[in-house]
């Protein structure tokens, strides 16, 4: 799983929830849109494929430094090597236009981060189980 999140507190909640759900998948965290693109396209510090394995899922914030989340999403969904990776928008934005743009760019889900810590943790647990354990992919 690749987490693209600039808010360290939110990243910590995601990381803690992921660890507590005991998923075997590795969680990689990057804090800005450019780092996400570098990771996914295996550029710069992520040029070694063994150090930048393809994520099974991407959790993507919208408001990111360097490169906006919607631009990252567009890059993912227009690249045939990346487009099949489920990409979930995980944001504080409830703005309908953000949702419309995200789905127009083929986001697989749009989730608004709950303000309440317990609800945020529960959301992360549900995401982990649904996308990494229950959801089925073709061989």
Domain assignment present for 41: yes
Strands (E) across the chain are located at: 2-4, 28-30, 58-60, 87-91, 109-112
Pairwise CA distance, residues 105 & 88, whole Å:
12
Domain assignment present for 139: no
Note the pLDDT of residue 24.
Answer: 61
Domain assignment present for 14: yes
Domain assignment present for 68: yes
pTM reported for the whole predicted model: 0.90
**CB 124 within 8 Å of CB 10:** no
Domain assignment present for 63: yes
Segment 122-138, tens digit of pLDDT:
888 888 778 777 877 77
Structurally, how many domains does the chain consist of?
A: 1
Note the pLDDT of residue 2.
Answer: 94
CATH number of residue 42's parent domain? 3.40.50.2300
Containing domain of residue 21, as a range?
2-134
User: Percentage of residues in the chain with pLDDT exceeding 70?
Assistant: 95
Domain assignment present for 114: yes
Segment 36-80, tens digit of pLDDT:
999 999 999 999 988 888 998 999 999 999 999 999 999 999 999
- Confidence bin at 117 (pLDDT 50/70/90): confident
Note the pLDDT of residue 127.
Answer: 83
Domain assignment present for 124: yes
Q: Kindly give the pairing relationship between strand 28-30 and strand 87-91.
A: unpaired
Domain assignment present for 103: yes
């Amino acid at each position: 799983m690749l987490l693209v999140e600039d808010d360290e507190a939110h990243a910590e909640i995601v990381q803690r929830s992921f660890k507590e759900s005991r998923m075997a998948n590795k969680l990689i965290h990057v804090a800005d849109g450019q780092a996400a693109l570098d990771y996914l396209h295996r550029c710069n510090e992520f040029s070694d494929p063994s150090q930048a394995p393809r994520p099974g899922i991407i959790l993507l914030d919208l408001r990111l430094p360097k490169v906006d989340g919607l631009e990252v999403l567009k890059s993912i969904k227009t690249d045939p090597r990346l487009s099949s990776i489920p990409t979930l928008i995980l944001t504080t934005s409830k703005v309908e236009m953000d949702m419309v743009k995200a789905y127009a760019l083929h986001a697989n889900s749009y989730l608004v981060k709950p303000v309440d810590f317990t609800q945020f943790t529960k959301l992360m647990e549900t995401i982990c189980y649904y996308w990494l354990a229950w959801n089925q992919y073709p061989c």
